[in-house]
Amino acid sequence: MYLTTSDDHNGGVEVQRLLPGLSQHSITNDAETINTEQIAALRPLAAHPVPTPQGAMPLRSARWRPRTRHIIHPKPAGRTPSIRQHARDARREDRRGAEVEIPIRGSCMHPSPPRGLGPSHPHPPPQASAHVADSANVTSPQPFSWKAGVLFLTSGASLIFYFRYEKARMERARIAEAAKGVGRPKVGGPFELVDQNGRAFTEQDLLGKYSLVYFGFTHCPDICPEELDKMATMIDLVEEKEKGAMVPVFITCDPARDTPAVVKEYLAEFHPGLVGLTGTWEQVKNVCKRYRVYFSTPQGVKPGMDYLVDHSIYFYLMDPEGDFVEAIGRQHSPQDAARIILEHIGDYRGKIDRSERR
Q: Among residues 358, 257, 345, which one has the least CA distance to residue 301?
A: 257
Amino acid identity for residue 192 in this structure: E
Count CB atoms within 10 A of the CB of residue 300.
Answer: 5
Q: Please state at what angle helix 146-178 crosses helix 334-347, rounded to 10 degrees.
A: 90
Point out which residues pair with 318 in neighbouring strands. 211, 324
SS3 of 157-224: the string is HHHHHHHHHHHHHHHHHHHHHHCCCCCCCCCCCCCEEEECCCCEEEHHHHCCCEEEEEEECCCCCCHH
**What is residue 103's DSSP assignment?**
P
322 dihedral zone (left: phi>0; alpha: psi -120 to 50; beta) = left
pLDDT of residue 357: 67
208 dihedral zone (left: phi>0; alpha: psi -120 to 50; beta) = left
Q: What is the pTM of this model?
A: 0.53
pLDDT of residue 270: 95
In our burial notation (b when 16+ CB lie closer than 10 A, e otherwise), range 63-93 reads eeeeeeeeeeeeeeeeeeeeeeebbbebeee
Count CB atoms within 10 A of the CB of residue 157.
Answer: 10
Cα–Cα–Cα angle for 333, 230, 166, rounded to 5 degrees: 45
**Cα–Cα distance for residue pair 250/344, rounded to 1 Å:** 21
Beta strands in the chain (DSSP E): 105-106, 111-112, 192-195, 200-202, 210-216, 246-252, 275-278, 295-296, 310-311, 315-318, 324-328
Q: Please state at what angle helix 36-47 crosses helix 9-18, rounded to 10 degrees.
A: 20
| Side-chain-facing half-sphere of 152: CA atoms under 13 Å | 6
Q: Among residues 194, 186, 203, which one has the least CA distance to residue 292?
A: 186
**Cα–Cα distance for residue pair 37/151, rounded to 1 Å:** 115
Which domains, ranges and CATH numbers included, belong to the chain? Answer: 9-45 (no CATH), 192-298+307-347 (3.40.30.10)
pLDDT of residue 261: 95
pLDDT along the chain (358 residues), means of 10: 43 48 45 54 55 52 51 56 76 66 50 50 50 51 73 84 75 65 71 95 94 94 93 95 94 92 95 94 93 83 80 93 91 94 90 81
Instruction: List Cα–Cα distances, 220 to 194, 227, 236, 302, in angstroms.
Output: 21, 11, 23, 18
**Cα–Cα distance for residue pair 48/278, rounded to 1 Å:** 159
